[in-house]
Copies of this chain bind each other. A is one copy, B any other.
Amino acid sequence: MARARLRELGITVGQLTPGSLNAITDVPGVRVGYATLVADAPHVIRTGVTMVWPADMDIWTNYVFAGSHSFNGNGEMTGLVWIAEQGLLGAPIGITNTYDVGTVRDAITAYAVAKGAPQDFHLPVAAETYDGRLSDIATFAVKKELAFEALDKATGGHIAEGNVGGGTGMIAHEFKGGTGTASRVATAGGERYTVGALVQANYGQRELLRVDGVPVGKEIPIKDIPSPRRGRGLAGAGDQPGPSPDGGGSIIVVLATDAPLLPIQCQRLARRATTGLAWVGGIGSNGSGDIFIAFSVGNRVRHGEPVSNVRMIAPDAMTALFQAAAEATEEAILNAMTMAETTVGNKGVTAHALPLDRLQEIMRKYRRL
């Protein structure tokens, strides 16, 4: 059975309606680019870079508001001290593997320099999850050029999911994980706003996986489909570092909206990724870097402007956006899993894709299909 997005399988999660693409690119101006690095020799590499542009090239001097939340900080997202201070995001957001996140961070600045873009903003946001279970991470395979490629390739419209970009070597709930996206339309104060999510999902225990509340993970036990996180070659067995068998790993969530939020409201929105994550079964395991960032393109702040006129959505209107953010996050994770393909990685470690027929069968058993 070919890989498919969750809704293509007839499975619906959440109560709100997705945008037309059911992707973060439903938010006007948002673009996503990927660069994927897969090699079997001389080293087994399953890695890459994902770039989320909040807007066009003018982002360098025409900022958007942003806010972040760390649900479990066993990970890295650079630039957060700045985001906490100013609430301004003035560059694309990069996502890659744990060892190369610094390189990708510097690459964003280098790209601005190379393009002749004004360099006023040089505190980029770059995040990571650990792909050292499937990829030979100690080779430091990601170079600045790979980040440039992801930056250059960014597009709106339909975007790829699963084994792509930074999501290439991911593992989620002990199945193959990766990159996923989804969106929701929320109505607040008579206006329609879109909230989109893009995730790099690399976390979670099998037993905790749920789809629309159905205990899918318990229905597909490790003895049926083995876990790439258990057995020989695990952390603790001494041969390599890595997520612990308790379900370590990480998830990065990028939320975007066109609702006119202030920075403090972006922080609130980012916190709701926790809710969507919980719905799928993520509890923020100790070894997990569950770090979320939300930005709003509903306000733009032009560098150098003495006073900026901005708009703030009413506090009460946030509830609809919160639900949208939680639902978009939930579905983006599930899309990452249903789109990801079985991957054999370094040292023969195999991450099996979530079997879609089995998923449908379980949903039927529990009266959801």
Contacts and interface: CB of A to CB of B under 8 A. Distances in A.
Interface of A: 15, 70-82, 84-88, 98-107, 109-110, 113, 118-120, 122-123, 126, 130, 138, 140, 188-191, 207-208, 210, 212-215, 235, 241, 244, 246-248, 260, 262-264, 268, 271-272, 274-275, 278-279, 282-287, 289, 291, 301, 304-320, 322-323, 326, 365-367
Contacts of A306: 188-191, 313-314, 317
A106 B189 CA distance: 32
Given A284-B322, A310-B311, A102 B106 contact: yes
A-B CB proximity, top 9 nearest:
A213-B213, A189-B306, A102-B102, A73-B85, A278-B278, A102-B105, A102-B106, A73-B81, A119-B241
Contact of A312 (B81, B120, B301, B367): B301
Contacts of A213: 210, 212-215
B82 A76 contact: yes
Contacts of A119: 138, 241
A284 B271 contact: yes
B262 A87 contact: yes
Contacts of A81: 70, 73, 75-77, 80, 289, 291
Given A87-B264, A306-B313, A367-B366, A109 B99 contact: yes
Given A264-B262, A365-B367, A367-B367, A74 B80 contact: no
A241 B87 contact: no
A306 B70 CA distance: 25
Contacts of A367: 365-367
Contacts of A113: 138
Contacts of A235: 120
A319 B85 contact: no
B103 A102 contact: yes
